[in-house]
Amino acid sequence: MGREGGEELTMPSEAIAFAEESVADLTGHLVPTEATARRDLGDLGLGIVGAGKLGTTIARAAIAAGYDVAMSGSGPADDIGLTVDVLAPGARTVTTDEVVRHADIIILPVPTHRFLELPRDLFAGKILVDAMNYWEPVDGADPELATAADGTSTVVQQRFPSARVVKSLNQLGYHELDEHRRPYGAPDRIAIGAAGEDRLAVRAVMRLIDRLGFDAVDAGPLENGLSLEPDG
Specify the higher pLDDT residue, 27 or 81.
Answer: 81
**Burial of 144 by CB count in 10 Å (0-12 exposed, 13-18 middle, 19+ buried)?**
exposed
Determine, yes or no, domain membership for 17. Answer: no
Asked if the structure places residue 77 within a domain, the reply is yes
Which CATH number do you get for residue 167? Answer: 3.40.50.720
Cα 5 to chain centroid distance, Å, stands at 24
Range of the domain at 205: 42-228
Confidence (pLDDT) at 76? 83
Average pLDDT over residues 206-231: 96
Can you say how many angstroms the Cα of residue 214 is from the centroid of all Cα atoms in its chain?
13
Query: One-letter amino acid identity for 10?
Result: T
- Number of Cβ within a 10 Å radius of residue 188: 6
In a domain, 89, yes or no: yes
137-175 pLDDT, tens digit each: 999 999 999 999 999 999 999 999 999 999 999 999 999
Q: What is the reported pLDDT for 94?
A: 97
Instruction: Tell me the average pLDDT of the chain.
Output: 87
What percentage of the chain reaches a pLDDT higher than 70? 81
> Among 41-45, 84-88, 198-202, 207-211, which stretch is predicted with the lowest mean pLDDT?
41-45
pLDDT at 66 over 90: yes
Residue 11 lies in a domain: no
- Residue of 140, 141, 171 lying closest to 153 (CA atoms): 171
Higher pLDDT, 207 or 14: 207
Contacts of 104 (CB under 8 A, 6+ apart): 11, 43, 45, 126, 127, 204
In a domain, 116, yes or no: yes
- CA dist 100 and 98 (Å) reads 5
**Is residue 12's pLDDT more than 60?**
no
Give yes or no for a contact between 90 and 63, defined as CB atoms under 8 angstroms apart. yes
Q: How far apart are CA 225 and CA 196, in angstroms?
A: 8
pLDDT number for residue 74:
84
Is 54 contained in some domain? yes
The H-assigned helical ranges of the chain are 14-23, 34-38, 53-64, 77-87, 96-102, 136-139, 143-146, 152-159, 174-179, 199-212
pLDDT at 67: 98
The answer to whether residue 120 is domain-embedded is: yes
Residue 196 lies in a domain: yes
Per-residue pLDDT at 36 exceeds 50: no
Provide long-range contacts, Cβ within 8 A and 24+ apart, for 87-94.
87/56, 87/57, 87/59, 87/60, 88/56, 88/59, 88/60, 88/63, 89/63, 90/63, 91/48, 91/56, 91/59, 91/63, 93/51, 94/70
Residue 78 is predicted with a pLDDT of 87
Residues contacting 144, CB < 8 A, separation 6+: 155
Residue 47's pLDDT band (cuts 50, 70, 90):
very high
What pTM, to 2 d.p., does this model score? 0.84
Q: How many domains would you assign to the chain?
A: 1
Contact 229, 152 (CB under 8 A): yes
Residue 183 Cα distances to 114, 150, 211, angstroms: 33, 33, 8
